[in-house]
Amino acid sequence: MKVISAHFVRSVVNIEQSPAEGYPEIAFAGRSNVGKSSLINCLLNRKKLALTSSSPGKTRMLNYYEINNALYFVDLPGYGFAKVSRKERDRWKDLIEAYITGSSTLRGVVQIIDSRIGPTDLDMEMISWLAYLKKPTMIVATKTDKLPKSKRVKQLAMSSRKLEPFGSFDILPFSSVKREGRKELWKAINHLINENT
Ligand code: GTP
Ligand code: MG
């Protein structure tokens, strides 16, 4: 998809506030600080549309971005941020759960992992849950610019193996800095949108 227009719509804390236009939605999930917002900016060719931060846990709401008056990207709040209270963590879970199970226009989830670390326990929990809900899910391993070339093949194979219990995933290597994987991810997103229409 050629990005002609992209703008921030709104942040919501409960799904009743979600925009009602009915455009298809692609959600971006991942641990706090993994690079979700940077990846969205990279896809949309914008430097600062989605707020990025070096202090994790800044995005605590569902952030909607509208593309070409035809599609929404939803930046989900990052999980696994150590310094939040139990209460806040529960609120996060409720919000994500309500969104994933409640949105009738959600076409697929781009699940982001760190290419250097592979899927963490919380990533696995999220991915198993998406599989249980039968949500089409793409796995993207980001920050490959920080992954030494010599470790790359082994590291990606290890990630695939870890995810085997939840399905067979082609993990897409990505770097927001080098813009690696951008074309391939757009192709996959287009596929998710068109597949279900
Ligand atoms: P929360 O909104 O807090 O959940 O974080 P996020 O997942 O949106 O992460 P964000 O995009 O804000 O990025 C976190 C940090 O990682 C920032 O300092 C980014 O500059 C850095 N970062 C993101 N993507 C990449 C990448 O591909 N390569 C490198 N080297 N750094 C990246
Ligand atoms: Mg973010």
Distance between Cα 49 and ligand 2 center (Å):
11
Report pLDDT digits (tens) over 106-139.
999 999 999 999 999 999 999 999 999 899 999 9
Cβ contact 50:41 at 8 Å = yes
Closest CA relative to residue 100, chosen from 134, 66, 124, 64: 134
Q: Ligand 1 mean position to 67 CA, how many Å?
A: 21
pLDDT in tens, 27-84: 999 998 899 999 999 999 998 887 766 555 555 788 999 999 999 999 998 887 767 7
pTM of the predicted protein model: 0.93
Name the more confident of 170 and 146.
146
Residues in the chain, overall count: 197
Residues with CB under 6 A from ligand 1: 30, 32-38, 52-54, 56-59, 78, 142-143, 145-146, 175-177
- Report the distance separating Cα 106 and Cα 41, nearest Å: 20
d(CA 18, CA 2): 25
Q: What pLDDT shows up at residue 14? A: 83
